[in-house]
Structure 1
């Protein structure tokens, strides 16, 4: 039964299709005009529409030698602190890379770049921005800047940097400039962290120094008082010369004799080097001198990431896709032309009936 229906339906379907083609052929002028109009409009739009090009670069975690220059500047800091891992955490390549990605995608950084970059200022001037649409201008451009992971499953830690501009050259120049700004920001944050670490170490050492100096002064005062008492006792006992067999366990060492005690008293009054009583003061002073010799270069170049593919000039336009626009226009023109003709024919037939 189904085979009979298929046979019966097939000729009618073919007849309907042939009729449709014949009917559309009758309206070939309307369809052609409509198609031509749509095609011309599409060509004009495709040729005059704003072009968009995307410059790209591929980055991953930097290598140890990329930050060797800044490590060499903080060698003295390694010699001072007890736990080098605290510095290694700051100088960790993965941490620097993650910070770079975070700063690259931060809206505030994009906003600052759009407001201050000379190329972006020209765009803003051409757009004749008012206070009302300035925010929208910034948001629309911020969306054209991104750092996204390429393939999290097969290539973790590999990111694609992109910046969309109105020409190949401008897209490239904008991405280079923005990447440089982010690198400088990461460098400044790194140096600020190291400066904070140096300052903290200096503060701890100075606090320890003050405490040890106070302890040393107390010991000096105590020793001076004991010497004065011993001298008075030695004078009373008539002990002028040191005993041959001295007992150093005595609190007041009168066995030294008045001559030695007088000399000891004079020397104690002249003591300036408190490390005699607190040897750790010498070590702390040496560490403070080490830290004072650290001079971080705030203008140095820091390569916080490694480029697997350097920022390049785009070779093909992203928008508009002229071929697609024209093809879509041709199809739309044909469809709308057909609809117009069929509608007019149906209305005419309706009027006749």
Structure 2
């Protein structure tokens, strides 16, 4: 009996598998119905759900010539790769996206949910809408780097306008930052130049005042020395005149004692009076100075009287006239007058022309960099041909497969739970 049981056991299992297949085939319409039902539900979902579209924009580094104007300023250095990374950071900036959302609220009007703030609406949209596109650093294919931005959006908003506008806004924002940085550098340089010019002017004024003071001091010293010399000369001349008057007075007394009225000589005085028998010519050779009293009282008194009446001895000394000339020249220092009468003193500042040229160059730099191109837009967003979500064919296939699996599972569970007849 046990042998018979073990022999029939494999046959019984094979009969069960066949029964399962038979049961499934018997319930084929139910399985097909479940498959069609799930497929229909999936297809209905695919047609009722809001379609999601996807657009992207790709940026690549600008050429060197586009940044040459900026780099040639000597104040700011920016290579194409750095410029691309900065624009990419601006594209990924939350603040930049929020600012664009606020400035273009009409583009996002269909996304606004009642009872939510502007920031809440933006946060809900920003979580899954934007995606930064970057090359895989592990793949070295020799291609140049790029930065892209992908936008996934529902059908009721203009995603192309949003993405292109935001990319342009991010590029402009980074361009404004570069311009602002350059302006700050230029303003700092201009402030430095202004400080240098102001310091140079102050130094010039101090040097000019010091030079004027030096010249006036030298003139004052020269005047004082000349006046001292003039007073000394006049005192010397007065003493000389007084000495002469004293000498004349003494000689007059001697001449009066000798009864010398007219100028004579010692030899003539020794001969006495002699009757003139004819013309007599005397010649006296003498290396000794004849005393003053031989001039006679008449000449001596006349000279003394003239000296006593004299009010000034200046004409007797040529140096006094020279001193008067020098004092007259020192009355007005023409160099000081010229220094004080300068109208445009900037012309005499050293390096002023160089500084002004540099200031003019710096002021013109801003206009030159306004058209600087930071990146190249390699691909702009265009209207997509079809939505990326939902994928109707994929949803239909998934619905049919899921419906078939559910139908089969339902039939199997039903057959499994169905009471089996007891064997006789």
Judge which range, 328-337 or 111-120, deviates more. Answer: 111-120
Contact 1:115/1:121, CA 8 A, preserved across alignment: no
* Greater Cα shift, 41-50 or 144-153: 144-153
Q: Distance in 2 between matches of 1:106 and 1:13?
A: 67
In 2, the alpha carbon distance for the partners of 1:268 and 1:343 equals 117
**Residue of structure 2 in register with 1:288 after alignment:** 359
Contact 2:107–2:158 (8 Å) recurs in 1: no
Name which of structure 1's ranges 201-210 and 281-290 shifts more when overlaid on structure 2.
281-290
Distance, in Å, in 2 between the alignment partners of 1:286 and 1:200 is: 16
Q: Which residue of 1 aligns with 2:126?
A: 141
Q: How does 1:12-23 map to 2 (within 5 A)?
A: 18-23=18-23
The C-alpha deviation readout for 1:217-256, integer Å capped at 9, x for no partner, is 11111100111012223334559xxxxxxxxxxxxxxx99
Q: Report the Cα offset of residue 257 of structure 1.
A: 9.1
What TM-score do you get using the length of structure 2 for normalisation? 0.64
Residues 290-317 of structure 1, C-alpha deviations (whole Å, 9 max, x = no match): 434555489x665321233343333343
The equivalent of 2:29 in structure 1 is: 29
Q: CA deviation at 1:282?
A: 3.3
The superposition leaves residues 182-239 of structure 1 with CA deviations (integer Å, 9 ceiling, x where unpaired) of 1111121111111111111111111112222221111111100111012223334559
Distance 2:153 2:350 in 1: 66
Give the paired residue count. 314
The corresponding residue for 1:320 is 390
C-alpha contact (below 8 Å) 1:111/1:142 kept by paired residues: no
Q: Are 2:52 and 2:154, in contact at CA under 8 Å, matched by a contact in 1?
A: yes
Task: Work out the CA distance in 2 between the residues paired with 1:15 and 1:256.
Answer: 150
- With normalisation by structure 1, the TM-score equals 0.76
Offset at 1:277?
Answer: 5.9
Residue 59 of structure 2 corresponds to which residue in structure 1?
Answer: 59
- Over 3 Å counting, the alpha-carbon distance change for 1:313 and 1:11 in structure 2 is farther
1:129 aligns with 2:114: yes
Confirm or deny: 8 A CA contact 2:35 2:407 kept in the other structure.
Answer: yes
Q: CA deviation digits over 1:40-81, x for unaligned, max 9?
A: 11111111212112112322211133346x64xx98xx4xxx
Once superposed, what is the RMSD of the aligned Cα atoms?
A: 3.6
Mean Cα displacement is larger for which, 97-106 or 131-140? Answer: 131-140
- Cα–Cα, structure 1 residues 322 and 301, in superposed 2: closer, same or farther, change >3 Å? farther
Q: Tell me, yes or no, if the aligned pair for 1:148 and 1:159 is still in contact at 8 Å.
A: yes
1:308 maps to which residue? Answer: 378
Stretches of structure 1 lacking an aligned partner (at least 5 in a row): 1-9, 79-83, 240-254
**Correspondence for 1:5:** none
8 Å CA contact retained: 2:51, 2:390: yes
Distance 1:230 1:179, change over 3 A: same
CA 1:20–1:313 in 2, change beyond 3 Å: closer, same or farther? same
Select the structure of larger CA radius of gyration: 2
Aligned to 1:46: 46
Asked if 1:182 is matched to 2:252, the reply is no
